[in-house]
Amino acid sequence: MDSNINVNAVLAKPLGNVTLGSATLNLENPTVKLGAGIAGFKTKVGLALDINAGTLKISGKLCAPFVGSTTIHF
């Protein structure tokens, strides 16, 4: 059984599609942090895989010029 999960993090708005990165999560590499910035916008995404519990936790932070930052958790 393949226990790899391939993830691609893409910021779809407001600047069009900007790829933050990609990674493979598995038992040996259960977490990853990806981030990027463009034109004053910055974003970070964290993913944590727990195969035994069958969960994937996602958190992120987006910062925009003149607006500030917001943090999300799934």
- pLDDT tens digits for range 27-39: 888 999 988 887 8
Q: What is the mean pLDDT of residues 53-59?
A: 88
Q: How confident is the model at residue 40 (pLDDT cuts 50, 70, 90)?
A: confident
Residue 6's contacts (CB-CB under 8 Å, 6 or more residues apart) are: 22, 23, 24, 25
Domain boundaries, the chain: 5-73
Q: How confident is the model at residue 14 (pLDDT cuts 50, 70, 90)?
A: low
How many angstroms separate the Cα of 53 from the Cα of each of 44, 47, 49?
A: 25, 15, 9
